[in-house]
Structure 1
Amino acid sequence: MRLQSASYLLPALLPSLASASGFDCAHIKLDNYKYDLSPLKGVHEITHSVTTDDYETNTTYRLNICNILGKNARFGDATCESSRNVCGFVHRAAKDGNGGSTFGFPIVGLDHVGQGSKDPELKRLKDIDPETEGLRVKLEGGSYKGDGNDQKAKKAGAIIEFQCDHERSGLEGLHTLAEDLETKERRRRAEEEAPKGNTSSLQFKSFGLSDDDTYILRLDWRTKYACDNYEDEKGEGASKSWGFFTWLIIIAFLCIAAYLIFGSWLNYNRYGARGWDLLPHGDTIRDVPYIFQDWLRRVINTLQGAGSRGGYSAV
């Protein structure tokens, strides 16, 4: 019975296991800089096509940098473990119409029982190129056999370069399969603000063997959330907004205080007024409590009148 209960709990625990494996997209700290990539959450899809003399190969990559792929780890007849963050789906068709193959393979994430690690490696792009601002994220945990099925599987991973672009949210031109209402609203605003003919913020660079004998998927992702000082500027923007209303209240208070002081001084020097008579419109100010009581009584009478039954009353 306990084993059965554990099997029901496993799908619910997978997102927590994924976030616990070393990469939290919402809280990235590197060299005293903070980055929050959570606005880019959701399952995004990008396709790369290669044509040879005999075959046409379309490889679709699905990724969710903030969570697992879940039910989106299936592409037609091809499958990939639902606990993964990045998967590739290859569809190879012969040009003569005879033969073809479809298969999926994991690139980033835990295995089906939550074991392993994504081995995150984070680096600021300025440490690589002083002219480029952004964040380089390397994640692993997958495997790929290459073009031949008889080959031994090798490790796979992804390198995503989040490049700073103050004009892009990072959602422009993306094909997204799963997103919440907040992400949909951000996408709508991004598409409205983006110039016509704008290219996708997420771009495929390459997929192949690296020097350490690991298959690496390389992607470029242009977004303002990768800017070094975006989190600080966002906080300053909020403080500036609050500062405006604070100054508005202070100015209004000073204007009222100046009016009362000047009016009191004028009444004292011109009319020799004392006490309440010093204040401008002193009679009105003294009547404020009574005016409020009359208004409150009218409201109560109106509500009581609306609640009473209509018709003739007994005489």
Structure 2
Amino acid sequence: MRWKGRRQSNNVEDRRGERGGGLPGGFGRSGGRVRLPMGGGRRAGGGLSGIIILVVLFFALRACGIDPLEMLSGGPAGGGGQVTQQAPGGSGTASDEMSQFVSVVLAETEDTWKGIFQSQGMQYQEPSMVLFTDGVRSACGFASSASGPFYCPGDQKVYLDLGFFNQLSRQFGASGDFAQAYVVAHEVGHHVQNITGILPRFNEMRQRMSQAEANAMSIRVELQADCFAGIWAHYTAQKGLLEEGDLEEALNAANQIGDDTLQRRTQGYVVPESFNHGTSEQRRTWFSRGLKSGRLADCDTFNEPV
């Protein structure tokens, strides 16, 4: 993607390097967060409770000024290599280029959605993006980096640990800057759903749904966000900002984070009734649909078969 030298968004909040503190209560169903899947599905035994205990212990130690990574390694964490954490307002780390990149992507989504909303006689309310490391507090509760990128409708912010992009490339096999741009555009798609009333309606309805019903509806929500990401890619292509291979990167990312692909990778089998983001084929299809038409009307996942 040809992004260097383009406008960066003013709506980026850099919390990298901040330490999280304690865990607030009241998660509910992810506290209303809408996030990218990180793999799994149904797991046997007490794996989830064990992870929760480790997360609580990790941040309890950090709240006391103790670095658990340093304890484990017997010395300062990192041991050389690229510095990826940065205190707010800092500069000079290798991650600066990545933060600049996502800021440009966010700015491009602002321009795209502002134009689309104006064409419909509406005003677009820009979301903010929070960059963090390890864990972060939001209006939807506390989340660790292990949760992946997410959108919180309570404060209208996209939350992103830039380290996720390393995982996206190395673990999920989805490399490239436009794969990363797709992730940002997908979360912004949830913001569009939020300010148009789609997401609040879903969050209200799912309180009365069974888990199976909520999963089925969640798939439609996620596929629409993929379609909205495709709409953004449509207009980005019209600006001449795409380079050879960019669209393939985005489609590959959509493929690699499909529920079926993630479950096969992480547990060796799939549990279709636990899907809540859509299969790889569904995610590719709906991103492609938005990409091809650039029209909101073609992203109606609620009234069409998915």
Alignment TM-score, normalising by the size of structure 1: 0.23
- Whose strand proportion is higher, 1 or 2? 1
Instruction: Answer 1 or 2: which has greater helix percent.
Output: 2
More relative contact order in 1 or in 2 (CA 8 Å, sep 6+)? 2
